[in-house]
Amino acid sequence: MLASFLSIPVSLFLVAGAVFCLTRAFRRSSWVSTWNYGIHALMAIGMLGMVWHGVELPLLPQLLLFGVASFWFLLQAVSRAEFLLVCHTRSGRLSCFYHAAMLAAMVFMLLLPHSATLQEAATVGVDHTAYASHAGHALAAALPSEPAVSALWMQPAAQLLAALFALAVLVWLLPIDRVAARLRSGKALGMSNSSRPPHIILERSYEAGSALTMSLMFAAASM
């Protein structure tokens, strides 16, 4: 799916991201946070399997895993505070909504190669039926098959997702939350003396890298 010169650096990032998420998972006291970081580690491993086409991972377990994980983050985003989940603040809920959408996009990305296979098979089928037009079946041959029609919207959707995840890279890298807080408080924008904790910097860097990887993979799939 990716260009050959991008496969190695993207793979190195995904391996580092999986190690980072597993490390954070084992250091968390809350089972919810441990589960969340474990999901991110599995997502990094799943994307690593997409980068290298020779790694044939079973499709159905991945679809079920990432589909359930997307619903899990969505459940956290809309849950009440008494359920003791991690998405209680406004930024936390937005983050859970984003991760739910990202995991849903992961399911869509897994289905993209199979939709392309269906489209190619449908095209071959139409070519074969067109050969029968001399027998009075020209109208049937001219009609596009259902798999081909259903796959037409996937390429524009992949291009849109590539652009959205590219925008997410900027959101994770730029201190938008600090800028918004200063604008709400009426303070002048500028460099703050307080620096972020190292684990926050690493986490935002991981999120930005994951968004960049998703953007690159959707861009490659749409070509």
222 inside domain? yes
What string of DSSP letters covers 126-167?
HHHHHGGGGGT-HHHHHSPPHHHHHTTTHHHHHHHHHHHHHH
Size of the chain in residues: 223
pLDDT digits (tens, 9 = 90+) for 76-89: 888 876 666 667 77
pTM for the whole thing? Answer: 0.76
205 inside domain? yes
Domain residues for 191?
153-223
Quick one: pLDDT at residue 141?
42
180 inside domain? yes
215 inside domain? yes
**Distance linking the first and last C-alpha atoms of the chain:** 10
**Is residue 120 pLDDT above 80, yes or no?**
no
CA distances from 219 to 12, 32, 130, 186, 223 (A): 20, 33, 33, 40, 7
214 inside domain? yes
pLDDT digits (tens, 9 = 90+) for 31-80: 888 899 999 999 999 888 888 765 677 889 999 999 999 999 999 888 87
160 inside domain? yes
pLDDT digits (tens, 9 = 90+) for 186-219: 555 454 444 667 778 888 899 999 999 999 999 9
b/e map 81-104, b = 16+ CB within 10 Å: eeeebbbeeeeebebbbbbbbbbb
206 inside domain? yes
Determine the Cα–Cα distance for residues 109 and 47; give it in Å rounded to an integer.
Answer: 9
Quick one: pLDDT at residue 113?
66
Number of domains observed in the structure of the chain: 1
Quick one: pLDDT at residue 180?
56
145: CB partners within 8 A, 6+ apart: 122, 125, 126
32 inside domain? no
